[in-house]
Amino acid sequence: MLSENHMKNWVFLFVAIISETIATSALKVSEGFTVLVPSFVVVAGYSLSFYFLSLTLRTIPIGVAYAIWSGVGLALVTVIGWLAFNQKLDSAAVIGIFLIMMGVIVMFSFSESIS
């Protein structure tokens, strides 16, 4: 069973992922940092993301935390790109993202390094 402190660090990782996803999505509409509000969201989102990612490293190994952060973030940004920006996804892209997510699930479910 995970301790309360360890569970809190998983919440921090979730916050880091969401912050990074928001920042990356705002990067698209910042138009090269020429639009003020999205540019602010990018800087604030990435700052929050790295801060909360650093907090997770108290109990979660860096390789595991980064793999989950980047894998889940990639999948979320891809879905946002598809829904909000009309990004086209071919079957190879969908299969690749599926495999990344399966890797995260396998690591989370079976790895002894994250318990």
| Band of residue 55 on the pLDDT scale cut at 50, 70, 90 | very high
Q: How many structural domains comprise the chain?
A: 1
In the chain, % of residues over pLDDT 70: 97
Q: Flag whether pLDDT at 96 surpasses 90.
A: yes
Instruction: Print the domain residue range for 66.
Output: 4-114
Mean pLDDT of 10-39: 97
Mean pLDDT of 14-31: 97
Q: Check: CB of residue 50 under 8 Å from CB of residue 13.
A: no
60: exposed, middle or buried (C-beta count within 10 Å: 0-12, 13-18, 19+)? Answer: buried
Q: What is the pTM of this model?
A: 0.89
Count of helices and strands (H, E) across the chain: 4, 0
| Band of residue 6 on the pLDDT scale cut at 50, 70, 90 | confident
